[in-house]
Structure 1
Amino acid sequence: MKNKAFAVLAALACLLAGTGAFAAQPVEWQTDLQPAATTVMEGIRWFEEYTLWFIIPITILVLLLLIVVVVRFRAGANPTPSKTSHNTAIEIIWTLGPVVVLFFLAIPSFKLLNEELIIPQDVDMTIKATGNQWYWSYEYQGDTEVSFDSYLLKEEGRADAGKEDKAAYPRLLAVDNELVVPVGKTVRLLVTGADVIHAFAMPAFGVKIDAIPGRMNETWFKPEAEGLYYGQCSELCGKDHGFMPIAIRVVSEDQYNAWLQEAANDVGAANKALMASVDNESSDVKVAANSN
């Protein structure tokens, strides 16, 4: 119980802090969505809270109606059942009521879908992500081309990778090579599958898109805060589906440029240099909440 309480308090501390590098990952007993790291995710979180203003009253109304029906129209209280076939007023209410509710849900929903699906024209960089059984391959497209595979970090490899801190690099979520992007830059993400259908999901960015063999899907994100963000494959893809996490490290533009130049020759060395640079700026990695 102490560990669970600590995890919840750590998540709340990160939310209240609002600044600094943090690792977005699941925590025990959480019920809320992951803190937003993009404007799209901010819209998703707002829409969730907005819909509750309709869901909760409707649920309470239906519950009350069921109670009235059970109490008032049970056999003991109403031995002679009514033969009423229709009621014009009630039929108008239960027809127009849902229409009005759906109208208020549809407008912000379509606006949010439009923001998610339309790729901005001013894209800063393009990355291709390929889902494999059971790891991810990344290709940076541009003047400096970088490509590497990203596997689940094995326990015996933590020391060599310098990722022994399980608060920052949790079990079943940490990887050997993170996807590295600069903060405040618009990233166009091309997603496909090499063998079976996978799905690229990054909750903090509001990104979830299928990786289908023979098809190139695309989405985008623009991270607004530096940190380490975790996601997972979200399409059942075989026996090790639960062991192909996604990790994105968001850093400053200078750190990214230095990493990119070194990664063109040696991704492993570039990652270690980047980790050292990040650790120099902040020795603590705060933990943010995330929904499963």
Structure 2
Amino acid sequence: MTHIWVNDQLMNRNEAKIDAEDRGYQFGDGVYEVIKVYKGNLFEMEAHINRFYRSADELRIIIPYTKDVLHKMVYDLVEADQLNTGHVYMQVTRGVAERQHYFPDEASATFTAYTQVSDRPVEQFEQGVKTVLYDDIRWLRCDIKSLNLLGAVLAKQAAHEADCAEAILHREDIVTEGSSSNVYGVKNGIVYTHPANNLILKGITRDVVFRCAKEQGIEIVEEAMTVEELLTMDEVFFTSTGAEVSPIIQINDTIIGDGEPGETTRKLQQAFEAKVQESITI
């Protein structure tokens, strides 16, 4: 990554400056999106932009661009960095103002965006991953993709220390999602996942998987699972922009199924890959 958008200026990263009193820095008062790039193509860009605006609206932050203008800004960034495969990270904060908790009248939003080179985790797709369970200690508006990520950070750190790829979160006995992903269980060929309410982020990859499942004749039930039910599933997998569709073969000390990625997960992986290839050739 060599370029970065700071408001209306596309500049070299070493030239970029953000004020110390930006509310994103002091309060986490902002929202963000991460968009996957495959061979220079922005995957599900419209859906990501729509969610970006929706999150900002929920926090009453005004993004100072139309969606069409923002789309072009992101495309220009990918072109400037000649990004082949990786991610675009973009965020908007309430802006710079003297530190006070309530919304300042004089602040205007601060927008930033940059690229990150990142290979697809092919080994993870093929072999599956180990995960840990972790108490969901986050706030009650997880449907907003806000900058307030400490709950997720602590969960991901617990997974890292356990040499695991992800932490599966639960509120008391109810499984919600991963620290940075959506989680699914498969029983008798039926996929179960938490409903898209305020307790989870409605993932863009989740939406693509729902479309893939419908096309493949795979039933998805939006129904909360208990931890016990999750541990007795035939298959478990998780999805996110970075993880795509990744099998989970172990949760804590419990082996899922036969310890190998399952048939339904494989079908959804293949269907998702077809969507990726379609986006590249358009």
Same fold (TM over 0.5): no
TM-score range, shorter-chain basis?
A: under 0.3
Structure number with the higher strand fraction is 2
**Radius of gyration: which is bigger?**
1
TM-score of the aligned structures, taking structure 2 as reference length: 0.25
Give the helix-richer structure, 1 or 2.
1
